[in-house]
Amino acid sequence: MNTGVTLRRKFVYIGITFLAIGIVAIVFSLIQVPFQEQEEYFVPVADALLEESLTVPVGEISRTLVLNAGDTINIDFRVTSGGNRDVNFYFRDGTNTVLSLVRTSGYNDTLTVNNNSTYYAVWDNSFSTFTQKGVTTKISKVWDEAHYRDITTQHTIIPSEYTTITEYVGIAFILAGIALMGFGAVSEEKKVHQPGT
């Protein structure tokens, strides 16, 4: 067998293979197989649920917060004026007292609630006979990354880069296949028309 003819035919066969691979790649890019990707998120340090300057009368004043089981909050307040600058403070839901402070001038710490409930932050100045108290307070929800990631959404996306790269690969294979087939076919034709063959 003429090795030159065999080699030229191999070029044609390789070209056909490349052409088939290119067509498959183009078809695959048109299908656009989607996949799941998590939405990009940035964990907030804290979300302010309450931020206020209060005047606590001779008696008490309260604010309500709706929280879910497992929520962690930071309670930060300072007594800024009045008498000895102290108040009683309670944090409770409808039935249970979560935190109780007596005659304090301030507080700054976190706590985690165990129930889905409406909670009450209560500043109590009932021990004072005449003097109201000024209080600045901020109560914030504290986020941890695992908790925040769990409530972000998953999106089904089809990235354009993925489709474009697959198309380019397919086109490259098709062009290479056509070139190889053309090279093999032209060489074969020249061989056939050579005198004395």
Domain boundaries, the chain: 3-37+155-193, 46-151
Burial class (CB in 10 A: 0-12, 13-18, 19+), 106: middle
* 34-48, 121-135, 142-156 — most confident range: 121-135
Cα-Cα-Cα-Cα dihedral sign, residues 145, 149, 152, 156? positive
Question: Residue 132: pLDDT above 80?
Answer: yes
- Quote the CA–CA distance of 63 and 55 in Å, as a whole number: 12
- Quote the CA–CA distance of 64 and 49 in Å, as a whole number: 10
**pLDDT by residue (tens digit) across 2-61?**
555 566 777 778 878 888 888 887 777 766 555 555 566 666 666 789 999 999 999 999
Mean pLDDT of the 143-151 span: 63
Question: Residue 142: pLDDT above 90?
Answer: no
**pLDDT by residue (tens digit) across 90-100?**
999 978 888 99
CATH tag, 46-151: 2.60.120.680
- Quote the CA–CA distance of 167 and 174 in Å, as a whole number: 11
Question: Residue 157: pLDDT above 80?
Answer: no
Question: Residue 196: pLDDT above 70?
Answer: no
Q: Are 181 and 16 in contact (CB under 8 A)?
A: yes
Tokens 């490259």 correspond to 172
Q: What radius of gyration, in Å, describes the C-alpha atoms of the chain? A: 38
DSSP 39-94: PP----SEEEEEEEEEEE-SSEEEEEEEE-TT-EEEEEEEEEESTTS-EEEEEE-S
- Quote the CA–CA distance of 94 and 103 in Å, as a whole number: 23
Whether pTM > 0.75 for this model: the answer is no
Candidate from 18-22, 115-119, 123-127 with smallest mean pLDDT: 18-22
